[in-house]
Chains A and B, each alone.
Chain A
Amino acid sequence: MKRLLLVVCIGILFKGFLYAEERSMKSDDTVRRYERKAVMGLGDIGFSQDSVRINMQYCTTRDNRYRCIPWSFNVNYPLGYNEKLKAARTFYDWTITNRFDKIIMGDGTADMITREGHVSIPTGELVQYFRSGTGSLNSFQNRLESYLNGALKENLGDLLDASVTQRYLELSEREQETFMTTKARDLGITADFIRVLINSSYIFAAHVQPVNGRGKVVRRERRTVDGRRVNYWDIEFEIPINVTFLIYSYNGETRQFSLYKKLTASSGVVSGSTDSFFVVPTPSQVMAAFNDTFQTAIKAASINANYQLKEDDNFALFMPVKAVRGSKIETEFGVMEDIRVDHPFTVMAMVDGEMVNKGYVRARNISKNCSPGYNEPTIMQISSGNVEEYDLLREYPWTGLFFNLGFRMDSLRVVGKEGVDDIGGLFLAPGFHLGGSINLGYATNSQSLSEFYMDFFFLMNVGIDRSDEVGRPVWLGGGMGFSKRFYTGAAGFYIAPALNIIYKAGLTTENYTLHNVVFNPQVHFGFSINPSFDIVLKGGWDLGFLLKAEDRFENDVSSDYDMFAMGLTASLDFNFHLPIVGSTARLYKRPSNICLIERSRKESKIEETK
């Protein structure tokens, strides 16, 4: 019975193969389209250690001094079955997205997620569970291969073969006007087609390299309104995770699993900190903070793996342009292929025998193609280039995150009252800023945030102007901002209104210190050479508020200056795409689950009518 159930479920799993065709009928690469693939992920991911241990430090900061000593509590996070399965779900949620029909094999159960829904079924002893053990990548790989071509081959190979008929029955007849359907419908499935079906199956396994993180509890001090000094505590972690994904393909003819690809995905350094505690944090609070950061690191590594997978033509989306309407195009794929808002695609075409890039488009309204019959297209905007009907779209591997480097000129002037020298202003203050920029539409997969970018940065300027009394100012600061891009024409140019909020601290050569909060409305004129690289000219106006000014004797001299500090700003920025998302992984929302919601709604309605 279990076997029957599993066969039926695997049949359901693989029935998305709608586009395979007879060889003689097949389209060539100029109009290729993604074919849904069946992917199995092994729930028991491999770790190089049986637990994550982090020696915590206890740090104190007072009067600009920072001191750390070992703390009494150390993190010890066991990597048992539940922890591994939890990590596996994160890995596979982000790496094997909706575009795959997937089955996650657990111990005695299999979670199957297909276009039609999600089902958990007991596998019992039918499919032997893979135990990853603890050890190096090599030993993990050896164990995995002997499992795949031993225990699993016998069971799964038969099941994959058995699923062929089910998958064939779902074959679209759109392209099957051949002899087979017109004269002898019952002829049977061609060997070519069986090969397509069986050989489109992949097994994913993940191995996590040694996790070495840093963690500390930091005691800080601040003054209350009435001038008292009080302590508060923060918990801070930095955890980088590197995961090796081993992807095996099933060769239906030799009935062997062979290594198709090895990806090493990196989370980057993922930092995590908590809201401040007013007493020393308890071990459970520390563990909660660790767990949050650890899961974010797993998510960040998975996003990087997903990015790398899209670099592979076999896993990337390809589809022809269905229609061109002005600056918009229509395509058939949608949420079921995990197209996210602002997702960029390269437009390609075969020109005089060579495949050339014609430009780029970005997804705007994503089709909710939860069922095969859904006919609303995904709308994409042409951001650069010339697109024609049936040009080929290729998914552009992208995370929506950029490293930003800008060379800036500011003229912020703090105006002195009644004979007091101004600081800055008359002459420009050249400098630079470094930071990141993230596309919120893509990260949150939200249409309302389409082409909204969030910037975060640190800056430094050196004033050229020099006052006899206070000297030359050096400005240091940091801030964040938001911008909304509007692409103009099809040459890659865009214009973006923006607003930055910056905290700027100024230190002069005569040891004056200044503290400002600056609101900086800007206009950006950008040129997107490709989705990985932008050049942006930014112009804006600093509207600053002087918070505090101290002279070289630490006397408060704020009253000597105007409250408003203003000036022009301009910068030339370069945005470089980042495939590793690090701590920004927190901003990323899962692929659309609208189909799941719609399905649940329908099911509950059916229940109600019963």
Chain B
Amino acid sequence: MKRVAFLTLTLLAVMFCGCKSSPACEPNLQPTPAIYEATFVESTSTAESMIRASGLGCTMEEALNEARKTAIWFVLEAGDKPLLKTPAERTRAVGLAQQMYADPNRYIRWQSGLKSKQTVGGKIKVSYIFRVDIAMITEQLVANGIISATSDLAESIGLPTIAVFAEKGGDWARTAVTVMQEYFQDNSFEVYSSAQIDQASDLVSKISKLEGAETDPMHDMALSLGSDIYAKINYSGGSGSVGGTATAKASVAVEVFETASGRMLASTTGYSAERRVSDINALVQEATNDASSKVISQIKKEWIKMAETGRPFKVTVLSNSDDGARVDEAIYGMLRNMSKRPIRRQGGGKSTFSYIVYISGVDNAYELFLNLRDNYNGPGQLERVSDTGSFLVFKATSTGEIELEIK
């Protein structure tokens, strides 16, 4: 009878309780995110980006907070344009990053609805999309001396000056140029408008001809303008239809070069979504936005490197056949002592010589000319012909005569 009663009570207890035990879930007590799953969605403005991030926690609240931390981590350290670019910066940022993880809401301007939820190893894993205020995070990193501000960059190696050219794509490419110029200006670059010039100067053209190799006309124009960097924009578009609705899409390819050396600094392509639009310019803007955020990050990274390896200058010396050999020897010797990297000699002849040199501690081409003039021990004296940005042209002859004709 007792057994029956016991069984009955047990059955009733199961029926009415329906309780279950689950293994205890341990929350993430570390300041850093529990998982590192995040992707870049899009750049909504120069100051903000959309990041899709996941978080892992014992409760929905904890998982959501972890996802916010992951979004902050992504902006700081991950993706193709992290704010902390070097191991040294990451080491310096540990303390500040932990403060940011402790209060990620300060940097999040908008949060989507739940995008995904699952249970992994007994914990809740969620995904959301966040709009992160990258400008604010950058400010804090700069204020704490973890990364250099653009102004610091300017102080150390000077602000790069940029010229942006439309290569292919007609009017749409010109729209892309305008958008790209806006982005560069927002990022404190000095922008030379390509509208100021429609062809390279006579001097640059002649020097390029002398160098022999097939030259890029935009490179020549950038040299003429005197920009440190130049960007080439190519637009291409496509059209389609969904149902009876005509649609279009745009892609904008951006290539960025050092003007002095012609070395490529950055390259990327931005895409728009395929849309029904009344004006293709909107798509061009969308594609350029996509490209610009990637390319600016790459340029900054390369420009910071130049603070250590030296800034590139193109030096062209105009002489004559009689003095040429000795002038070349004297100039090359001086430059070899100044350049932090091996000097690259570009084409020339018996009377005209071009060099690509990397020199630190020199702000502009004129300053470089003064240095060279003061230390020159070759035939005759040095006489400046032109200095624009990273491009220096001067005469070096004992007679004052040069063989290149300049208008």
Given contacts A191-B242, A352-B121, contact A490 B18 (CB under 8 A): yes
Q: What is the predominant secondary structure among interface residues of chain A facing chain B? A: mixed
A386 to B22, CA, bound (A): 11
Report yes or no: B243 in contact with A194, Cβ–Cβ below 8 A: yes
How far in angstroms is the closest Cβ of chain B from A589?
A: 32
Instruction: Provide a sorted-by-A list of 21 A–B residue pairs whose CB atoms are within 8 angstroms.
Output: A157-B243, A158-B244, A174-B113, A177-B131, A179-B44, A179-B289, A183-B289, A184-B282, A184-B286, A188-B278, A190-B273, A191-B247, A191-B275, A255-B243, A255-B244, A350-B118, A351-B120, A390-B117, A392-B117, A488-B16, A491-B17
B112 and A349 contacting across the interface, CB-CB below 8 Å? no
Which residue of chain A is the closest to B242 with respect to CB atoms? A194
Output the residue of B16, B41, B242 with the most chain A CB within 10 A: B242
Q: A183 contacts B44, CB within 8 Å?
A: yes
* Nearest A-chain residue to B39, judged by Cβ: A24
Instruction: Confirm or deny: B196 has a beta carbon within 8 angstroms of a beta carbon on chain A.
Output: no
- Residues 3-52 of B at the A interface (beta carbon under 8 Å): 14-20, 41-45, 50, 52
Residue of A175, A189, A350 near B119 (CB, 8 A) is: A350
Q: A25-B129, A28-B115 are in contact. List 18 more A-B contacts (CB 8 A).
A: A157-B243, A161-B243, A164-B243, A182-B44, A182-B45, A183-B285, A187-B283, A188-B277, A191-B276, A192-B273, A195-B242, A198-B243, A252-B243, A352-B120, A388-B124, A390-B60, A390-B114, A491-B15
Which residues, 272 to 316 on B, are CB-close (under 8 Å) to A?
A: 273-278, 282-283, 285-286, 289
Give which listed residue, B16, B17, B113, B274, contacts A192 with CB less than 8 A.
B274
- The answer to whether A607 has its CB under 8 Å from any CB of chain B is no
Q: Are B278 and A352 in contact (CB under 8 A)?
A: no
- Look across to chain B and name the residue whose beta carbon is closest to the beta carbon of A390: B117
Tell me the smallest distance from the CB of A421 to a CB of chain B, in Å: 34
Q: Say whether B245 faces chain A, with CB atoms less than 8 Å apart.
A: yes
Q: Is B116 part of the binding interface, using a Cβ–Cβ cutoff of 8 Å?
A: yes
Residues of A within 8 A of B277 (CB): 187-188
Q: Is the CB of A493 within 8 A of B15?
A: yes
A191 shortest CB reach to chain B, Å:
4
CB-defined contacts of B41 to chain A, threshold 8 Å:
24-25, 178
**Contact of B276 with A30 in the complex, beta carbons under 8 Å:** no
Determine the chain A residues whose CB is within 8 A of the CB of B44 once the complex forms: 177-179, 182-183
In the assembled complex, the Cα of A495 lies from the Cα of B20 at a distance in Å of 20
Interface size range of chain A in the complex: 35 or more
With known contacts A175-B112, A184-B286, A198-B242, A30–B117 Cβ distance under 8 A: yes
- Nearest chain-B residue to A189 (Cβ)? B276
Question: Which A residues between 384 and 435 are near B, CB-CB below 8 angstroms?
Answer: 384, 386, 388-392
Once the chains bind, are A27 and B114 in contact (CB under 8 Å)? yes
Indicate whether A157 sits within 8 Å of B276 (C-beta atoms), given known contacts A177-B50, A489-B17: no
Query: In the assembled complex, which residues on chain B have CB atoms less than 8 Å from the CB atom of A391?
Result: 117
Are A489 and B16 in contact, with the CB atoms below 8 A? yes
Which of B124-160 touch A at CB < 8 Å?
124, 126-127, 129, 131
Q: Given A183-B289, A491-B18, do A351 and B245 touch, yes or no (CB 8 Å)?
A: no
Instruction: Give the complex CA separation of A186 and B285 in angstroms.
Output: 12
A186 to B19, CA, bound (A): 55
Which residues A167-187 have CB closer than 8 A to chain B?
174-175, 177-179, 182-184, 186-187
Binding site for A on B (CB under 8 A): 14-20, 41-45, 50, 52, 60, 110, 112-121, 124, 126-127, 129, 131, 240-245, 247, 249, 273-278, 282-283, 285-286, 289
Question: Given the interface contacts A390-B60, A488-B18, A489-B18, does A31 sit within 8 Å of B115 by beta carbon?
Answer: yes
Given A24-B42, A349-B119, A488-B16, do A160 and B285 touch, yes or no (CB 8 Å)? no
* Among B17, B116, B131, B286, contact of A30 (Cβ-Cβ < 8 Å): B116
- In contact, A489 and B242 (Cβ under 8 angstroms): no
Query: Is the CB–CB distance between A488 and B118 below 8 Å?
Result: no
Closest B residue, CB atoms, query A185:
B282
| A292 on the B face (CB < 8 A) | no
Q: Is the CB of A188 within 8 A of B276?
A: yes
Q: For residue B291, give the distance in angstroms from its CB to the closest CB of chain A.
A: 13
Residue of chain A at shortest CB distance from B112: A175
Question: Is the C-beta of A525 less than 8 angstroms from some C-beta in chain B?
Answer: yes
Determine if A463 is an interface residue (Cβ-Cβ < 8 Å). no
A252→B240 CA distance, assembly (Å) = 13
Q: Is A351 a contact partner of B45 (Cβ separation < 8 A)?
A: no
CB-CB < 8 A to B126: which residues of A?
390
Taking CB atoms, residues of chain B closer than 8 Å to A495 are: 15
The answer to whether A320 touches B289 (Cβ under 8 A) is: no
A253 proximal to B (CB < 8 A): yes
A22 interfacial contact with B, CB 8 Å: yes
**Complex formed: what's the CA distance from A493 to B50 in Å?**
47
Residues of B within 8 A of A177 (CB): 44, 50, 110, 112, 131
A490 contacts across to B, CB distance below 8 A: 18
Q: Which of B16, B42, B112, B240 contacts A493 (CB 8 A)?
A: B16
**Complex contact B119–A160 (CB within 8 A):** no
Within 8 A of B (CB), among A553-603: none
- Chain B residue, CB-CB nearest to A351: B119
Contact with B along A234-269 (1 / 0, CB 8 A): 000000000000000000110100000000000000
Task: Evaluate contact between B20 and A351: CB separation under 8 angstroms.
Answer: no
CA separation between A525 and B15, bound complex, in Å?
A: 9
* Known interface pairs A178-B44, A198-B243, A493-B18; A27-B274 also in contact (CB < 8 Å): no
Q: Output the nearest chain A residue to B63 by Cβ-Cβ distance.
A: A390
CA distance A388 to B20 in the complex (A): 14
- Given the complex, which residues of B lie within 8 Å of A175, measured CB to CB? 112-113
Question: Are A389 and B15 neighbours in the complex by a CB distance under 8 Å?
Answer: no
B109 and chain A: residue at smallest CB distance: A177
A525 to nearest B CB, angstroms?
7
Taking CB as reference atom, which chain A residue is nearest B18?
A489
Chain B contacts for A27, CB-based, 8 A: 113-116
User: Which 5 pairs show the lowest CB-CB distances between chains A and B?
Assistant: A489-B18, A350-B118, A491-B18, A252-B243, A191-B274
